[in-house]
Structure formats: structure tokens, C-alpha cells
Amino acid sequence: MTKVDLTLPPGLTLPLMSEMIMPLSNAAMRDIETLVHPYTNLALHRETGPLVINRGEGVFVYDEHGKAYLEGMAGLWCAALGYGNEELAEVAARQIRTLSFTHLFGGKSHDPAIELAEKLKEIAPSPMSKVFFTCSGSEANDTQVKLIWYMNNALGRPQKKKIISRIKGYHGVTIASASLTGLPNNHIDFDLPIPGILHTGTPHHYRNAVPGESEVDFATRLADELEALILKEGPETIAAFIAEPIMGAGGVIIPPTTYFEKIQEVLHRHDVVLIADEVICGFGRTGKMWGSQTFDMQPNALSCAKALTSAYFPLGAVMIDERMYDALVSESRKIGTFGHGFTYSGHPVGSAMALKTIEIYQRERIVEKVAAKAPQFQKRLKALADHPLVGETRGIGLIGALEMVADKTSKRSFEAKKMVGAACIKHCEKEGLILRNLPNDAIGICPPLVISEAEIDLLFDRLTTALDKTEADVSAQNLRAA
Ligand code: PMP
């Protein structure tokens, strides 16, 4: 077997973090010997070890030593109702006692899945015909790709198979989903993307607009670029366009005004299906039930997961419109079955929990409350734009990010190897705040939707302190030097 080098890659130093490495606990040492961590620098992890979180309540989680952290990322953009919700615990226990498992294969069914599909159709942002359940966002988007291919075979246009997504879009990590994802780390050395997946431009005005270009002009240019790509490839080969209303993991990128309006005009002209990836935006994050409603998108198909159960159970859903469903029916009639499905598609425990979660969102008027809290959240975020490290702040509803730069005027980023974003996250942790480091030293903020006004203030107070400490490190170690 080839021996793998476990030391840090050359040039990767820890200028800011070296003093922050804590002695490793027993759990941390066992972790290092046993786990492969998703989205982690596995070499660095062997030296720094994990942050071991063992308990959660409200918007706080507690590490193995009992220290409290405000969970400013709702876990991974998902724990919308926070931690320790008794109603969800009870509904899970009840469903496990009633029927812990049954499935939807071969025409079998059960009440929770039927009721959840009805509920999702009722609240969908555009007319949806049917719902297919998965266990994750990645599986939902993989399913979308397969359904589109299947549909266009059914419709007798086997060349119309290519799918366009966007650079910096995030759609998951399974082979098709990772191909849709437009981030280098999901492709490099995984031999991705697969053929037939194309990427168009990122709607990030701060980074990608040309000097003096208005948001409206920038949006026009992006739509023109999309159309040029479709025409170059041949519209008869382009099946679908997939987009998150707000790009999440790519850096919380809010599209410029008129963007989706213009993009949808292009898609309509060339009979290209719009798939909305609502895995982060769905269920209130943007201040409306769906990001599609915030940005006037009328998707033909939609993926959701995460807040569907407030992350109390791994569950995703694909919704499709009538035309897509009819095509699946005719194709399965021809073949003899619809040959797709996961063991846990429509798991009864997850379905019952999702139903309860949506009931809570509606009963507690969670979405209206997000809209009411958003101005305070966005005001505190925007105020950080004055900080010497911050090039841009951006956000909507209860989601946002700030992007740190070496030079505010030229927008020059720090060199990646200086790991300024990672250092800021460590300072946040010291202050009792969990946030996430996104591409380009952007710090993502996406707290549970149930966060209170006082907790929003606490979040931004702690973030401000962490930024000040990061700035002190940057100055002391002259990390702005190009
Ligand atoms: N789509 C989007 C927009 C996401 O943010 C994510 C996860 N962050 C996914 C898809 C993939 O979901 P999962 O991790 O559940 O596979």
C-alpha cells in the first residue's frame, strides 16, 4: 500500500492558529484515530483535533467541557428550530412505537408520507404535481438529474440532457450533485464533473461586476452569458438549469436585482427546466417560506432538505410539476417500473417529524417572525462593513456573510495559505460562537430561525470581538503583505 504523507502540504503554515491549538482531550484523540471528517483538512485535523459537541438547547450547543456556544450556523444551515425541541422528540418516539419502518417501494404506502407530500404540494412556491422523498439534499439533486434525463427520453428528445449550474453553486457531493456543485474542492482529484454538466457565471456583484456596472446591467450580462452558452451548445441539448435562490456554501451570494427574472426569460425561450435548490433557503430562511418567493422564481422542480425536519431527521424531497410527472409515468409504463428509489425514501419517522416541523413553522408563525427579526440582523451585519478587515457584507432574512479582504479598496483577498478565515472562526469559538468559513475568507452566518433579538445581539457582539482579535493578529503578523 502506498504510504500517504500526513504532514501539512508545503507552504501551508498556521501563522494565526498555532497558539490556539488546545491540548487534545481523550475524545479528541480517539476521534483522530477513528474518523474521516467531511469537509476537513484531514492533515491539519491530526494536529488540531475536533471540537466535540455533546449537547444542545435552544440556539446553544455545549462542548465536552460544558462550554456553551451560540450556534450561529444552525449546524449546517439546518437546525431551524434550534436544539432540544420536545414536540419533535415526542413525535419521533410516537412514530417509532407505532411503525418504525415501512417503505414506498412496489406501490406500498403509509399515512405520514402521504400527508407530508400533500403538505409540501400545498405550500410549494409554484404548482407541483408530485413529491419524491430522499434522505439528503445531495440525493434530491441527484434524483433531479436522473428525472430530467428520464423525462427527456420519455419526451422523445434523447439529446436534451445537459444541465447547467453555476460556478460557486452548491448542490451536494454525490457524483451528479458534486458535478453540479461549482466549487473546485468538490471536483479536484475526484475526476469530476461528469460529462454533460456545464457551469455559468456567479451572480456576485461585488466580485464579478465590471467597474461601474449596475446590478441591473450585471444581471442582464449574466442572462446574456447564459443564453450564449445555450446557443453555443445547442438548445436541443440543454435540459435544465439548477440554482439556489441564494448561493449558500459558495459564500452566501445574493443575486443582483432582476437576475432571476432575466434568467427565467432565457430558460423559457429554450424550453429549459428550472430546478430550484431550496435546500438552504426553504422553510423561511429568507423571510418567506421559499427563496423562490423572495426572488420571484417559478421552478418546474424543487429540491429541499435540511429545515424540512429542522435537521432532527435526515430527509430530503424532490417536487416535480405535471409535465415531468406525466413523462415519468409514460416511461415507467414502457419499461415496466420507475427504477429509482432509496430504502428510506419517505421514512415514516422522518415524514412524521417533517409534518410536525412544518406544523410548528405555521403555528408559531416562524416565517413572519424571521421577516420581523431580519432588519435587526441585517443592520448589525451591515455595520461590520466598516471593520478594517471586511470588504463586503451581504445577506437577506436570517442569513448573511461577511467577506474579509487584505485591501478594502482593491478588494484584494488574503492568500489562502494564510488561513485568515479559519483563524477568525477559531476566535469566534473562543468567544463562544460557531460560524463557518466559506470560500474567499467569507464568514457565513445562518442561526436557528428561533433566535431571539437578544441572541442576535449576542451573536454580533461576539463576532465583532472575534474580528477585532483577527485584525490584531493580521496586523501583528503583517499578513496583508502580498
Ligand atoms: N444543496 C444545497 C443548496 C446545500 O446547501 C446542500 C448542503 N449544504 C446540499 C444541496 C446537499 O445537501 P446534503 O448535505 O444534505 O447532501
pLDDT digits (tens, 9 = 90+) for 203-231: 999 999 999 999 999 999 999 999 999 99
d(CA 121, CA 225): 33
* Strand pairing class (68-71; 433-434): parallel
Centre of ligand 1 from the C-alpha of residue 85, in Å: 23
Q: Nearest residue CA, atom 1 of ligand 1? A: 171
Task: Give the DSSP letter string of 316-330.
Answer: EEEEE-HHHHHHHHH
Q: Ligand 1 pocket, 279 CB below 6 A?
A: yes
- Rounded mean pLDDT, 75-94: 98
Closest CA to 394 of 464, 451, 444: 444
- Cell numbers describing residue 193: 464533473
Q: How far apart are CA 326 and CA 319, in angstroms?
A: 13
Closest atom, ligand 1, to C-alpha of 247: 3
In terms of residues, how long is the chain?
Answer: 482
The C-alpha torsion from 443 through 444 and 448 to 451, rounded to 10°, is 50
Centre a 10 Å sphere on the Cβ of residue 83 and count the other Cβ atoms it contains: 22
Q: Compute the mean pLDDT over every residue in the chain, rounded to the nearest whole number.
A: 95
In the numeric block, which cell numbers belong to residue 333? 409504463
Q: How far apart are CA 180 and CA 198, in angstroms?
A: 8
Q: Which residues pair with 133 in a beta bridge?
A: 317
User: What's the pLDDT at 231?
Assistant: 98
Ligand 1 atom nearest to CA at 139: 16
- Please give the Cα distance from 447 to 450 (Å, whole number): 8
CA of 316 to the centre of ligand 1 (A): 10
Residue 178 CA to residue 141 CA, distance in Å, equals: 9
Mutate to test the pocket of ligand 1, among 134, 280, 292 (most ligand atoms within 8 A of CB): 280
Q: For the whole model, what pTM was predicted? A: 0.96
Query: What pLDDT shows up at residue 21?
Result: 61
Written as nine digits, the cell of 345 is 425514501
- DSSP 8-state secondary structure symbol assigned to residue 185: G
* pLDDT confidence bin for 6, thresholds 50/70/90: very low
Condensed to tens digits (0 to 9), the pLDDT of residues 9-64 reads 444 444 455 555 678 999 999 999 999 999 999 999 999 999 999 999 999 999 99
CB-facing half-sphere around the CA of 324: CA atoms within 13 A = 29
Residue with cell 444552525: 74
Residue 164 has pLDDT above 70, yes or no: yes
Would the CB of 248 count as within 6 Å of ligand 1? Answer: yes
Q: Is-contact 15 481, C-beta < 8 A?
A: no
